[in-house]
Amino acid sequence: MKILVSACLLGVRCRYDGKSKPHPAVERLMEQHTLIPVCGEILGGLPTPRVSAERQGARVVTADGCDVTAAYRRGAEEVLRLAERYGCKAAILKERSPSCGSGRIYDGTFTGTLTDGWGVTAELLRDHGICVIGESEAETWREEH
């Protein structure tokens, strides 16, 4: 199976802070599946490192007040294009991210407070029928998703 995966979970240093967040359970999936690394922020044209950002409703705003919604949407569309091109039916994305968050994201106050919600990329993928889960679910993930 071909699965989209947040590139930072595979060790790519593409997070806002210039670091990665390798996840062993996600990496183990390479033994049985084709993993396609993606980063909506990079595909949307944002640099690494970059100012942290959070969703504020439909917008994505950086900690210093810049609206980066257009870049996040552009990146989400590119990730969707890759999903369609490679026939991906599932994605394992970085939890809590304004791009990749699945079900819980930071609330836009930059205080570390979580709220129910989806990152821009995760939401677009779900709207197009792609199963999206966070990395904490990778250990128990099965193809029937």
Nearest to 36 by CA among 103, 92, 117: 92
pLDDT of residue 9: 98
124: exposed, middle or buried (C-beta count within 10 Å: 0-12, 13-18, 19+)? buried
Q: State the amino acid at position 68 in one-letter form.
A: V
Radius of gyration of the chain (CA): 14
User: What is the separation, in whole angstroms, between the first and last Cα of the chain?
Assistant: 12
pLDDT of residue 140: 83
Nearest-angstrom CA–CA distance, 124 and 29: 23
Low-confidence ranges of the chain (pLDDT < 70): 142-145
Q: Buried b / exposed e across 34-68, counting CB within 10 Å, b at 16+?
A: ebbebbbbbbbebebebeebbbbeebbbbeeeeeb
In sequence order, what are the beta bridge partners of 49? none
pLDDT of residue 63: 98
pLDDT of residue 141: 74
pLDDT of residue 43: 98
